[in-house]
Chains A and B, each alone.
Chain A
């Protein structure tokens, strides 16, 4: 139950009707569609799509395998570069990644190959009698991975494949990270995040321990002592604050906290719905929040951003999804004040119109705009949860953990990757790539040390 929204009515529609709102946003390809689509791939050499995939999947190879009816071959090609290829196929903003680079974007080529959907076709339809990857000879090393999100899971799988033992420490009671708690419900249907983790663990050599949070009931120094190396894949646990009074009034909450409840709800009719919802932000989280609230039955959802649409980090495709769900997008307005009713609950959100001044700096014009709201959801970004590292002094880069090109932090034997580190974009696929590369770096460092010893 979401405390700050407990005064709001719950979703009106029946569970069946609501469930219908959260089926696959992009339905999977059937066999015929996969045949047609895979035939469109030109099997490029030095393929631009591969260069644009943060996890270096050999796209022409897996698509050619599909075209040759070798679905397991296609799946293995995907998974050997990206063990979470199934979730990436669902959540990657392909319109700015592989598909944006596809040569068939050229004006005379109609449209890019649907790489994401083909990747999903392969990973959904693979049928392995046993796990497709084998473990190398045991190294005798055991590595602690903190966080069972995409970065941690990817790191653990690759470490296990290289012959190491892995123990994953996870604060929550389920693995998956934001795949389980954050990604929009219509992108991750059918409990896929858990199924994928089950698949990945089949490699063996990975132990998962839940309810253990670094900085709370788990200490990094202990881990350093007890394990040959430590990988931190703890994501960004905190939501940015608006910095306004009334921020903790009933009716106002972080979008990610609401989405987390939504993702975990077995019965969607128990969810509180803001009839008039305001979402503040411009990223994919903001869009996800707005669209999901609209689908739960809100009458009016307004997404407010302090700059113009062109500066929004949500892709054009995501903005279109919002529009298709009747989300109203208001730009050039910044949050000014949380307006409360007599009982202290949120009744509206006050914004101030903005412009760019002569020097290109965003400034308020003084003109105010009140948008009535029963629920206000902030989605202005995630930041590092400082409490995780309260017992150590780890080099930082802004609020993120600083790493070198081998994913090494400032502490010897401690590595990090995914959203919690500075380089790259906060994307699932990026986290998977970090985890994989960090695993290889950890393994190499451990093996070099063995040789040196």
Chain B
């Protein structure tokens, strides 16, 4: 059996599945249920200064797939709406009762040294394993100079991180906002400030849908709405790219990354880890299906690791990074061609119309004697874009088959068609 335990920036956990700082980790009741369900750790719902934040009624909205499965989730909640004192007392008790699980405390206080200097010792006294700095909340809090308002300014990120390292001995994880052009900026700032790790992503500014009768976005609060933070499956590709950007950046080489964003299955987790994460955090999936989902995630991940011969998370963490490169280093001589498995094809014609209308007119629509259609790839026309394979509703019906061109690796920097190629 693969060993799922991790040591993330000095924080130990029996498995890499943590609950992200959010409603699932709002209070002792939820966290204890999560631990009972088997989660390796939690990041406690973000604490702030008293008086505690106040939330509005009607807080979430979503976009859906064809079977009403949630693809993207949006919220306008603030940080904890409970007092600091109650939260700290519960954290201390829970950590005492569950010593083997990771318990990280998320924090957000004003960008003033005194505020941090005040709260850090209080948190440290609970016995918590570490802190996560919430520089990401994109709604409500930035209007008060916190959350993403800090995360978007690398200088602030570095400064606050340094304060935290100065006034506490706990590992410091900096949680990054994706609402920024180049994620490497704040990541480098965190690194320079002495962060022990980064976690990402927090939510993305979003409006999920509009009530076209009332002419107002959702969620609706008394006839008005505001942008919220987007998460769930739809944000996973954005999160993974950002994780990869940091993992590939020599300036932050080796910094532990906790991957967050749209994780709901063992495969999602494995993908983040392959891109350099060494723990993962989950929010939306738990909110939609409950804590029990961790069971399938642990089971799936460890079976897959056994199959692949990976003994520990570290064995495959970052394994996809060397293969994630800049466009200019891709092999210009590589070629794939679509191939349709006629036995699997159900004749829906989608590959044909997709390629015909929007790609390279490389699929022939052949009318058969019995009135049905047969679809065949015109190999000489196919540019290998994958579109037909993507639109085909049947699994493994269209395969992109690598062609033996007999030509060696040649990237764009070497390509004679590139007017700015490097002299050879």
Chain A residues in the interface with B (C-beta under 8 A):
35-36, 39, 42-48, 51, 67, 103-104, 106, 108-109
Contacts and interface: CB of A to CB of B under 8 A. Distances in A.
Interface stretch (B213-221, B234-242, B342-350): B342-350
Contact of A109 (B67, B68, B346, B372): B346
Given A35-B68, A36-B67, A104-B346, A46 B365 contact: yes
Contact of A103 (B66, B67, B347, B371): B347
Contact of B372 (A48, A104, A108): A48
B353 interface: yes
Contacts, number: 39
Contact of B349 (A35, A44, A108): A44
Interface string B321-350: 000000000000000000000001011111
B346 A45 contact: no
A44 B394 CA distance: 13
A67 B66 CA distance: 8
A48 B394 CA distance: 17
Given A35-B68, A106-B346, A109-B346, A42 B393 contact: yes
A36 B69 CA distance: 11
A87 to B, nearest CB: 26
A255 to B, nearest CB: 34
19 contacts: A35-B68, A42-B348, A42-B350, A42-B393, A43-B350, A44-B350, A45-B348, A45-B350, A45-B353, A46-B365, A48-B371, A48-B373, A51-B371, A67-B66, A104-B346, A108-B344, A108-B346, A108-B394, A109-B346
A106 B372 CA distance: 13
Contact of B67 (A39, A47, A51): A39
B116 interface: no
B366 to A, nearest CB: 11
Contacts of A45: 348-350, 352-353
Interface of B: 66-68, 344, 346-350, 352-353, 365, 371-373, 393-394
Which 6 pairs between the two chains have the least Cβ-Cβ distance?
A45-B349, A39-B66, A45-B353, A103-B346, A106-B346, A44-B348
Contacts of B394: 108
A67 to B, nearest CB: 7
Contacts of A39: 66-67
Contacts of B365: 46
Nearest to B67: A39
Nearest to A102: B346
B350 to A, nearest CB: 6
B392 to A, nearest CB: 10
A72 B395 CA distance: 34
Contacts of B68: 35
A51 to B, nearest CB: 6
Most chain A CB within a 10 A radius of its CB, from B66, B346, B347, B353: B346
Given A35-B68, A36-B67, 8 more contacts: A42-B393, A43-B350, A44-B349, A45-B348, A46-B352, A104-B346, A108-B344, A108-B394
A369 B348 CA distance: 51
B334 to A, nearest CB: 30
Nearest to A43: B350
Contacts of B393: 42
Contacts of A43: 350
A39 B365 CA distance: 25
A109 B353 CA distance: 21
A104 B348 CA distance: 9
B341 to A, nearest CB: 12
B100 to A, nearest CB: 44
Contacts of B372: 48
Contacts of A48: 347, 371-373
Nearest to B397: A108
B145 to A, nearest CB: 42
A103 B67 CA distance: 20
Contacts of A44: 347-350
Nearest to B353: A45
Contacts of B352: 45-46
Contacts of B67: 36, 39
Contacts of B373: 46, 48
A4 to B, nearest CB: 46
Nearest to A103: B346
B387 to A, nearest CB: 14
Contacts of B371: 48, 51
Contacts of A35: 68
A296 B109 CA distance: 78
A56 B393 CA distance: 24
A44 B350 CA distance: 6
B346 A46 contact: no
A47 B350 CA distance: 10
A108 B347 CA distance: 13
Most chain A CB within a 10 A radius of its CB, from B347, B352, B353, B371: B347
A43 B346 CA distance: 13
A46 B349 contact: yes
A281 B66 CA distance: 45
Nearest to A46: B349
Nearest to B344: A108
A46 B371 CA distance: 11
Nearest to B357: A45
A109 to B, nearest CB: 6
Contacts of A42: 348, 350, 393
